[in-house]
Chain A
Amino acid sequence: MPYLSLEGVAHMSEANGTIMKAENVVKLFPVKKSSLLAALTRKPPDYVHAVDGVSLDVQVGDTIAIVGESGSGKTTLARVMLNLIEPTSGKVIWRGKDVSTLDKNELFQFRKDVQIIFQNPGGALNPRKSIFRILSEPLKLHFNIKSGSELVDRASEALLAVGLNPAIHLDRHPHEFSGGQRQRICIARALSLGAKIIFADEPVSSLDVSIQAQILILMKKLKEEFGLTYIFVTHDLALTRSFASRVYVMYLGEIVESGPVEDIFMEPLHPYTKLLLASTPVPNPKRARSRETIIPVGEIPSPINPPPGCRFHTRCALAKAICKTAKPVVKTVGNRSFACHLVN
């Protein structure tokens, strides 16, 4: 019985259009000070501006890439959108509903519909449980299945879908698998719950290139088979070029540029996007030696008290006086957006 194709809450909203949305999401983390120091200084607490006013629109069937260097707030944004942490302000909309107002039943649906896979798949799998238990326990919880044979059928089907062999693998434990196989198990678990929206936080960063490609090929196949929507969180621009449909470039908690992947790569507009692209090595010695070089200046500043004006100005080769004082407004041209004083 093909369970996988039956599952999912796709019927809950129309087949196309926006499936998920972030509206002006802000997430600040208070910086911990010793209470004595806090009492003495009486200064208001400092905050890490992890995500600072991000809006993002996910269409059904999209593969979104949220790109940027570490510390730019990508994972925090994903955690807010997954309803794992509450935003300081702003809203997350899922299939037309504000996730902070979901009732118990809707929240249950959300937990099945929206799943995440991580960079380190080992950490997401309990080492003491067999693969069968890892796959069947959430099934019991979410679908209230009591029949052992149905659990076996469902777990087997999910393993087959990700290229593993249930006859051999169901009884094994996570440590008996390679990194690539463990990522397949995490994907199988998400699929078995009928997930339609999958967040992938650096899903292949810790894997070798041949295994990275194996997982990416699998994810592409599953997307077509089950009509999935992906949100990739990644620092890997090469992966983004071939896998994403739409890109959001993040820097110090803000989106500095967004648009369709081909537009962004063919003609990056924001100086930070240009810097990221110019810094990424290309596997082509002739191109590597002939392309434009941008010398990267400095490092990403602390997200506690981020720079005033444009947050990128401390590293931007083009920065003018206005960049240091005034925050650039987001400009939208067609389906592209960017926030820079000097680009129109």
Chain B
Amino acid sequence: MNDLLLNIKGLKTYFNLTRGVLRAVDGVDLKVGAGEIVGLVGESGCGKSVLARSVLRLLQHPGYIAAGEIIYEGTDLSKLPDEKMREHRGKKIAMVFQDPLGYLNPVMKVGSQIEEALRIHRPNEDPGKIIPLLLESVGFPRSARIWDRYPHELSGGMLQRVIIALAISCDPRLLIADEPTTALDVTIQAQVLRLLKRLCKEREMAMLLITHNLGIVADTCDRIYVMYCGRIVETADVFSLFEKPYHPYTRGLLEATLSIDEFRENLTTIEGTVPDPINLPPGCRFAPRCSAARLVCTQADPPCLTIDALKEHVAYCWIGTAEYEKSAAPLTTAI
């Protein structure tokens, strides 16, 4: 990893609900180096979006950061006063979401919306010069005069590119992209991913790419975190993760993922469903669905195992430890 840009340590983001405390993010460590593309994968509800929103402090009520640090270029964002945080947002870290329409004003032309963002963060520059350049850098030829259009006149893929133009308008060093292509067709998805990769390279911008699609991370990312029930279960360099997945959840996800490259006669999968986030099982949260679980897994949090130090490959699992070997036969798991 190059210089550390973002260093999240022990982050806990909770929602106090009438039913109880929902631990959406529950002790996450995550790093993004300068210029690096890091993937965050996991199935829906595991806490990816809450993690992203925590970094930008865009949590929805009643969510709050209960513990941990979010160090960005030496500053702990989790403790920053609101006004200071506003300066960081957009200027140093920008975000792109799955649904671009939700973040654009329907009655305002694209150009005016970009102008507004520029006025806040780059007040001394001429928007008339910057806007066409920005739109060109996300693939719109000048002749398309996209600045003159309203959001409803544009397709989903075009809107996402407008949002990306907005996001990079203030030259952030980190872009957080939360399922940016999930709503798009594959050919448009390929265009948007290619664009994001190019922008990261050209601008030496880092990206935290959130997705549930293992194909996308394999294709796009340098390093990957796998998340389950609010926790990171495994992290590694992309090659190491796909070649030697260690955690049974990662293995299960990979086995359940089909590929255009391979005919699979017998598909296997992870049985059951994710547990109720308010009543999480003790010990390893994956234990109730894990075919390798032993008694110890249900009793204590799994240790952090180094799988391959060079590849920064780490997994949180009991498998391979002395305790696991000694532990009683698999439990009868109730799903």
Contacts and interface: CB of A to CB of B under 8 A. Distances in A.
A2 interface: no
B187 interface: yes
A41 interface: no
A281 B19 CA distance: 40
B225 to A, nearest CB: 15
Contacts of B157: 299
Closest 6 pairs between A and B when the two form their complex, measured CB to CB: A281-B215, A213-B269, A213-B256, A279-B190, A208-B43, A296-B187
Interface stretch (B26-34, B75-83, B257-265, B305-313): B257-265
Interface string A270-290: 000001111111111111110
A74 interface: no
B273 A180 contact: yes
A275 B258 CA distance: 19
A241 B44 CA distance: 25
B325 interface: no
B155 interface: yes
B259 A284 contact: yes
A210 B242 contact: no
Nearest to A278: B190
B280 interface: no
B238 A285 contact: yes
Q: Chain A interface residue count: which class?
A: 35 or more
Interface in A280-318: 280-289, 295-296, 299-300
B265 to A, nearest CB: 8
Given A209-B257, A210-B43, A283 B267 contact: no
Interface string B185-200: 1111111011000000
Contact of A281 (B191, B218, B255): B218
B252 interface: yes
Interface stretch (A4-12, A51-59, A113-121, A231-239): A231-239
Interface of A: 69-70, 178, 180, 208-214, 216-217, 220, 235-242, 261-262, 265, 275-289, 295-296, 299-300
A283 B44 contact: no
28 contacts: A69-B185, A209-B43, A209-B269, A211-B273, A212-B256, A213-B269, A213-B270, A214-B269, A217-B267, A235-B186, A236-B258, A238-B259, A238-B260, A242-B258, A265-B260, A275-B187, A276-B187, A279-B186, A279-B187, A280-B186, A281-B215, A281-B218, A283-B259, A284-B261, A287-B261, A289-B219, A295-B191, A299-B155
A216 B267 contact: yes
B73 interface: no
A289 B197 CA distance: 13
B187 A69 contact: yes
Contacts of A262: 263
Interface residues of B, number: 45
Interface in B52-72: none
Given A208-B43, A217-B267, A235-B186, A282 B218 contact: yes
A235 B185 contact: yes
B116 interface: no
Nearest to B183: A70
B263 A241 contact: yes
B219 A282 contact: yes
Nearest to A275: B187
A283 B257 contact: yes
B103 interface: no
Contact of A238 (B185, B239, B252, B258): B258
Contacts of A180: 273
A210 B215 contact: no
A209 B107 CA distance: 38
Interface in B227-271: 238-239, 242, 252-265, 267-271
B247 to A, nearest CB: 14
A181 to B, nearest CB: 8
- The CB with the most chain B CB atoms within 10 A, among A236, A276, A299, is that of A299
Contacts of B92: none
B133 interface: no
Contact of A210 (B262, B263, B264, B270): B270
A262 B262 CA distance: 10
A288 B269 contact: no
Nearest to A291: B261
Interface string B174-210: 0000000000011111110110000000000000000
Contacts of A210: 43, 252-253, 256, 269-270
A242 B260 CA distance: 8
